[in-house]
């Protein structure tokens, strides 16, 4: 016997709510990336891999200041680097 919470109507409504929530999450960013402030006050980037990339603001600024060097390094080492699609 189904409880009131487990009624087919409630299950269907919950499934629809979860589908809508899933679609909204997918549409958050055109690249599938999102930013959040972590519990410890750092910046977390979600959507690059299984786990977020989390750095404090000073670390992000140092990394962003190295953008040209990082791109040049990738270009110079292209033959040794793998791509994850």
Rounded distance between C-alpha atoms, residue 47 and residue 31, angstroms: 8
Check whether residue 76 and residue 41 sit in a common domain. Answer: yes
Alpha carbon distances (Å) from 39 to 42, 53, 56, 85: 7, 14, 11, 30
Domain assignment of residue 48, given as a range = 31-85
Check whether residue 23 and residue 64 sit in a common domain. Answer: no
Along the 85 residues of the chain, how does pLDDT read in single tens digits?
Answer: 556 668 999 999 999 999 988 887 666 656 789 999 999 999 999 999 999 999 999 999 999 999 999 999 999 999 999 998 6
Check whether residue 37 and residue 51 sit in a common domain. Answer: yes
How many independent structural domains does the chain possess?
2
Check whether residue 26 and residue 39 sit in a common domain. Answer: no
- pTM beyond 0.75: no
Check whether residue 44 and residue 85 sit in a common domain. Answer: yes
Check whether residue 5 and residue 43 sit in a common domain. Answer: no
Closest to 59 in 3D by CA, of 35, 47, 42, 72:
42
Check whether residue 24 and residue 35 sit in a common domain. Answer: no
């Amino acid at each position: 016997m189904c409880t009131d919470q487990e009624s087919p109507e409630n299950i269907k409504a919950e499934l629809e709510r979860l589908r809508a929530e899933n679609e909204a999450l997918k549409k958050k960013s055109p690249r599938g990336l999102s930013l959040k402030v972590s519990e410890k006050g750092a910046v977390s980037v979600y959507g690059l891999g299984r786990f977020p990339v989390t750095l404090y603001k000073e670390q992000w600024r140092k990394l962003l200041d190295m953008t040209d060097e990082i791109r040049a390094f990738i270009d110079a080492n292209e033959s040794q680097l793998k791509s994850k699609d």
